Amino acid sequence: MNEDEIPPHLARVPDPDGAGTPGLQERLRAARSGWRFLQAADQPPAQALPAPVPSGAGWLSEVLRPLRPAYLQVIVLAFGVNLLGLLAAVFSLQVYDRVIAKGGMTTLVALVLGMGLAIAFDHGLRRGRATLMQRIGARIEVAVARAVYERLTRLPALELESRPPAFWQTVFRDIELVRGTTAGAAALLVIDLPFLVLTLVLVGFIAWPMLPVALGVMAAFVLLAWRSERVLKTGSEQEKERLMSRDTMLSDLSASRLHLKTLGPSDSMRTRWESHYGRWMEESLARSREMDHYRDVAQGMSTASTVAMTSLGALAILNQLMSMGALIAVNILSGKLVSPLVQLVAQWRSFGQFVAARKRLDDLFALPLDREQSPVALPRPRGVLTMEALHFRYPRMAQDQIHALSGQLGPFGLHAVVGNNGSGKSTLLKLLRGLYTPAAGRVLLDGADLQQFGQRDLSAWIGLLPQQPRLVAGSIRDNIVLGAQGVSDAQILNAARLAGAYDFIVNLPDGFDTDVGEGGQRFSGGQRKRIAIAQTLLNDPPVLLLDEPTSDLDAAAEQAFVATLKALAVDHTVIAVTHSPAVLTQCNGILVLDRGRLAAAGPAREVLPRLGYAPPRPAVVVNHEDKTREAEAA
C-alpha cells in the first residue's frame, strides 16, 4: 500500500467532531424541543451552542434565571392541580349535606359528572407539570454538567492534581442532586406548599371551628421539619465527606487491583478498606436512623391530627357548630394538609444533601480558571525557551522544588534534562509547558512571558508527553486526536509513523478503530507509549517536551525514535527528560538538575563525560518523510 494512502480502517472511523454520538448537546436540543418557553428562552441552535457556562457564586441563579417563565408555568399548573384537589372535599360535603340529607339524585349525577371532568382535567394538568419539570431538569443538568466539565479541563494544573478522581465523581453526582432538588419531587413540594393556604381557606369556609386545629397541626409539622433540618444538615455533609473518602480508596483499589493481587493477600490493605467502608456505613446508617425517626414521628403526628380533627369535629357537631358533611370534608382536607408536610419531613435529608452539594459546587465555581485563549492570535513561535531565575514550590512544601534556574533552550536542537529521582525534572517540564505558575522568575517563549498565553495556544505550541501517559476509553484514533481539532487523516498517519506506532496499529484487525481498553490495558507499555507519543506529535508543535519518551521502548524502537527526534530537532526545540544513553549521546545540549538546582549545563560533548557517558557520536543520517536530511551537528 502507498504510504500516503488512507487505510480502510481509518476511513471507517466516525469523526468524533462530526454529528456522531449523542452527548450533552443533543440532550440540550431534546430539552429545547416541544415547549414554547424553552424555545423562547433559547437562541436558534447555531447561536445557542455553546451556551454560556455558569460560574462564580451566583452560578445557580445564572442557571435558573432563564427558566423563570417555565417555573411560572409550573406554578400556574400547580395552582390548578391544588384547586382541583379540593373538589373531593366539596363533593363529599355536597353528597352528605344535599344528596343524603335531601335525597337529591339529580344533584348526585351532576356532582359525579362534574368530578369525572375534574379528574380528567387534573390528570392533564399533572402531566403537563411533570413534562415541564423534566425539561427544566434537563436544562439545569446540561448547564451545570457543562460548567463542571469546564472546571475539569480548565482549572490550573495544581488544583486539578489536588483533587482525586473521587472528588470529581462526587461533583458529578452533585449535579444530579441539584437537578433532583430544583426540578424534581422536592421542587414540586416547595411549589405546592404555599397552596396549603387554599386548603386552610376552604377549611375556614366549610367548618370554621376546625380552623385553629388545622393551623395547630401545620405549626407542629413545621416545627418537626425545622428540628429535623438542624439535626440532619451537619450529618449530610459528614456523610458526603465519608463517601468521598470511601470512593477515593475504592478508585485506588480498583486501579491497582492487579498489583495488589501480585503482592499477595494483604491484611493491611483489607483493614484500611474496611475501615473506610465501615466509617461511611456508620455515618450513613446514623443518618438513616435519624431520618426514620423523624419519618415515624411525622406518621404518628399525621394519625394524631386525624384523631384530633375527628374528635373536636364531633364536639363541634354536637354543639351544632357544623354539619356531618363538613366533618367528612374537613377530614379529607386535613389529609391534603398533612400529606405534603409529612413529605417535607421525609425530603429533608435530600435538602441537606442539596445544601452540601451546592456548597461544593460554589467552592468549585469560585476557583479561577486558566486563561484559555491569548488576547490576540500570535504567529507560530520558533521555539526559544528562556528561564529567568525560575523558582517553584508545591503547596505545603517546605523547600523549593525548582530553585533559581536560568538559561535558554533552543531554538531547535535536541536537549536532555538529567538528574536523580526527585530532582525536579518533571516539574521543570510542567513549568516550561506553562502548566504551573512560577513562584518567582519567568519562563519566556520567543521572548514573551508564558503567563500571557492561553492554554489553547500553549497546547498548540508546546507538546508535552507526560512520564506516565494514560490512554482514555475509546479507539486508537480517539486517543491520538484527543485535544486536537480539525485533524486530517494524513496528520494522524504521519504522527503514528513518527511515533513508531503505525506498523503495529495497521496490523490490528480493526486498525485505528481498535478499542484501547481501560487506561489502554489492551496494549503493552511500549505500545501505549507510542500512541501517546503520536498524540503529542499530532499538532506538530515547535517545542516538544518529552518526559522519559523511550523508557518503555525496546532497543530497535528506541533507536528509530532517537532518529526521529534528531530529524525533528532540525526545526523543532526538543527537550527530553531521559536516562537513556541512546538519547543522551545524540543530544546537542544537556541540563543537569540536583534537588531543583542547576548542577551543570552545556553542550553534550562537554557535559556527558562528566556524567560518565561517552561524548556524542557523529551526526546520524535520518530518513524522514522520504527526505534524507543530515541531522544538525552538535
Ligand X SMILES: Nc1ncnc2c1ncn2[C@@H]1O[C@H](COP(=O)(O)OP(=O)(O)OP(=O)(O)O)[C@@H](O)[C@H]1O
3-state secondary structure of 395: coil
- Residue 228 contacts ligand X per CB under 6 A: no
Indicate whether 550 belongs to the interface with ligand X (CB under 6 A): no
Question: Cβ-count burial of 626 within 10 angstroms (0-12 exposed, 13-18 middle, 19+ buried)?
Answer: exposed
Based on the shown chain and the rule CB under 6 A, indicate whether residue 401 belongs to the binding site for ligand X. Answer: yes
Residues 18, 20, 22, 26: is their CA dihedral positive or negative?
positive
Q: Which residue has the cell 445544601?
A: 355
Q: CA dist 220 to 195, 224, 341, Å?
A: 18, 6, 10
Amino acid at 275: S
Q: Nine-digit cell at 594?
A: 540536583
CB closer to ligand X out of 34 and 422: 422
Nearer Cβ to ligand X (235/419):
419
In this structure, which amino acid lies at residue 380?
Answer: R
Interface residue with ligand X among 124, 300, 422, 609 (CB under 6 A) is 422
- For residue 370, give the DSSP letter: P
Q: How far is the CB of 574 from ligand X (least distance, A)?
A: 18
- Tell me the number of residues near ligand X by CB under 6 A: 13
Using CB under 6 A, which of the segments 126-134, 417-425, 507-515, 607-615 binds ligand X? 417-425
The residue among 93 and 533 lying less far from ligand X, judged by its C-beta, is: 533
Out of 82, 343, 426, 573, the only residue in the binding site for ligand X (CB under 6 A) is: 426
Which of 1, 376, 397, 556 binds ligand X (CB under 6 A)? It is 397
CA distances from 214 to 84, 203, 555 (A): 20, 8, 85
Q: What share of the chain is helix, strand, coil (3-state, %, to 5)?
A: 60, 10, 25
- The span of 301-309, 394-402, 407-415, 518-526 binding ligand X (CB under 6 A) equals 394-402
Interface region with ligand X, contact rule CB under 6 A, candidates 86-94, 175-183, 280-288, 419-427: 419-427
- Select the span of 70-78, 393-401, 567-575, 611-619 touching ligand X (CB under 6 A): 393-401
419 binds ligand X (CB under 6 A): yes
Question: Does 427 participate in binding ligand X (rule CB under 6 A)?
Answer: yes
> In the numeric block, which cell numbers belong to residue 284?
450513613
Residue from 135, 403, 425, 433 binding ligand X (CB under 6 A):
425
In this structure, the number of other CB atoms found within 10 A of the CB of residue 298 comes to 22
Among 423, 494, 527, 586, indicate the residue that binds ligand X (CB under 6 A). 423
Could you say which of 180, 381, 424, 434 contacts ligand X (CB under 6 A)? 424
Q: Which three cell numbers stand for residue 28?
A: 440540550
Among 62, 150, 159, 161, binds ligand X (CB under 6 A): 161
* In contact, 573 and 383? CB cutoff 8 Å: yes
Least distance (Å) from ligand X to the CB of residue 396? 7
User: Which of 47, 106, 319, 421 is the binder for ligand X (CB under 6 A)?
Assistant: 421
What does the per-residue mask of binding to ligand X show for 433-472, with x meaning CB under 6 A? ----------------------------------x-----
Alpha carbon distance 619, 16 (integer Å): 42
Distance CA 76, CA 86 (A): 16
Considering the complex, state which of residue 347 and residue 578 has its C-beta at the smaller distance from ligand X.
578
Strand ranges, E, within 399-528: 402-409, 413-419, 440-445, 448-449, 462-465
128: helix, coil or strand?
Answer: helix
Minimum CB distance to ligand X, residue 606 (Å): 22
Indicate whether 573 belongs to the interface with ligand X (CB under 6 A): no
Q: Catalog residues that contact ligand X under the rule CB under 6 A.
A: 161, 394, 397, 401, 419, 421-427, 467
